[in-house]
Amino acid sequence: MPELPEVETMKRDLSSMMVGRCFTGVTLHWPRAVQTPSPEEFCNRLQGLCIKEIDRRGKYLIFRLANGEALVLHFRMSGSLLLDSRNASDPYTRNTFHVDNGAGLYFRDPRKLGLIWLVPDENTVVGKLGPEPLDPAFTAADLGEWSKRYSAPIKAVLCDQRFLAGIGNMYADEALFAASLHPLRATNSLSADEVDRLYRAIRRVLEEAIGNYGASINDYSRPNGEPGTAQSMFKAAHRVGKPCPVCGTIIERIPIRQRGAYFCPNCQRNS
């Protein structure tokens, strides 16, 4: 958290309000979030730079600046970017970006895991990510070709950002449920039909979550402070001990490579 739908929501919400605005300063309450350049240089260089465009790559939010540089943010487990001025005094606000209209962009991050870069080329940060699952150019055939390269459990592979950019625990669970695939299935064992089901499930799950402004399970909220509602549509993720909405079997959770996977043992049989 946040995953692709949450970061896409931030991008869309902020674009209408922040594009064309300029940074007037930065207050670093948690300087260790800044990866490059040094915190002091970061503050000096960002001041006065204007926002040309806001974009997303995987789980990364990218502010493309008028001077050609990019401000890149990764929210890791608990980060969010808020416009609500009440966050100025929130103890979990780690860094504040001051803007020329008097607003503040508050990087709220209870676990202090979020990361920030100011770089001449955004690809130095996001260049190794896999394809975007919602890119029109990414096809089921592409997914099938990529799948042949991996023997690891499909849940683990879906969360590997080198495989697909932007999918994490929640939406991997939801996509596998929608495709009726067990999370422990070896990725390279999927048939062409199963790959096609998974491709369509990934796109549908992500698009529906974006339409519901992402999922607010713990710390995420939209820039205006409102929660996302995608979690109300979840059929497997975070529903351990609850009945499957399709067959009534109790949803289980198993560990897979230091992650948890939620699934229905009846609808998602390991065969």
Count of helix runs (H) and strand runs (E) in the chain: 7, 11
SS (H, E, C) 71-128: EEEECCCCCEEECCHHHHHCCCEEEEEEECCCCEEEEECCCCCCEEEEECCCHHHHCC
Concerning whether 259 is annotated as a catalytic residue, the answer is yes
β-pairing, 259-263 vs 115-119, is unpaired
Q: Give the C-alpha distances (Å, rounded to integers) separating 155 from 135, 183, 205, 261, 262.
A: 21, 5, 15, 7, 10
Catalytic residue among 2, 133, 153, 223: 2
b/e sequence 193-217, b meaning 16+ C-beta within 10 Å? ebbbbbbebbeebbeebbebbbbbb
Catalytic residue among 52, 112, 259, 265: 259
Concerning whether 21 is annotated as a catalytic residue, the answer is no
User: How far is residue 97's CA from residue 104's CA, in Å, rounded to a whole number?
Assistant: 6
Catalytic residue among 3, 6, 69, 122: 3
Please report, as a single letter, which amino acid is at residue 168: G
Catalytic residue among 57, 59, 222, 235: 59
DSSP conformational letter for 218 = S
Which residues are known to be catalytic?
Answer: 2-3, 59, 259
